A = this chain, B = another copy of it.
Amino acid sequence: MAFHLLERNRTGAIDLSNVLHNAMEHIHHCKRCRTFTEDELCEICRHPEREASGLLCIVESPQDVLAIEQTLSYKGQYFVLMGHLSPIDGVGPEEIGLTELEGRLSAGGINEVILATNPTVEGEATAHYIAQLCASHNVDASRIAHGVPVGGELEYIDGNTLTHAFSGRRKL
């Protein structure tokens, strides 16, 4: 990429460097949900209907917010941990913003916390920790469903996921 820019597109590269510089200077974390934004509060946190929904979805990263927004099926607010609990790397509750989250939980207005951390070992541990936090603040917590991905074939799905799909089966 560097050679291509040097040989063929020096003005493009200067534009790119300006854009990058601007982004680094103006994009910071939303004061409420900690995702990336240019404003004090991000667009989602400023939305009155989303606040009225009483739903708070906890995710690990701003990319997860994007993925969920693209489904067009969730109409609540977010809280972005910017990571997951990982004591071995020195990442405790403080580092993933759980003090701010506790503040929001005790401020009221949230009926349900949806734990949408990654379905990995660290993500599950983080979800478990936050669920206990919610319980101590008398806020309902739920975990997104584990199961077979749509369009897959049973035969190629790992045993752990299949076990979850069976234990989480729903009455029809």
The residues of A with any CB-CB pair to B shorter than 8 Å are 59-61, 63-64, 66-68, 70-71, 73-74, 114-120, 131, 134, 140-172
Contacts and interface: CB of A to CB of B under 8 A. Distances in A.
A144 B158 contact: no
A143 B170 CA distance: 5
A150 B158 CA distance: 8
Copies in the complex: 2
Contacts of A144: 147-148, 162, 165-166, 168-169
A155 B61 contact: yes
A23 B77 CA distance: 59
A160 to B, nearest CB: 4
A159 B119 contact: no
A151 to B, nearest CB: 6
B151 A171 contact: no
Contacts of A140: 171
A67 B172 contact: no
Contact of A142 (B60, B70, B114, B170): B170
A134 B172 CA distance: 10
Given A71-B166, A163-B71, A168-B168, A64 B147 contact: no
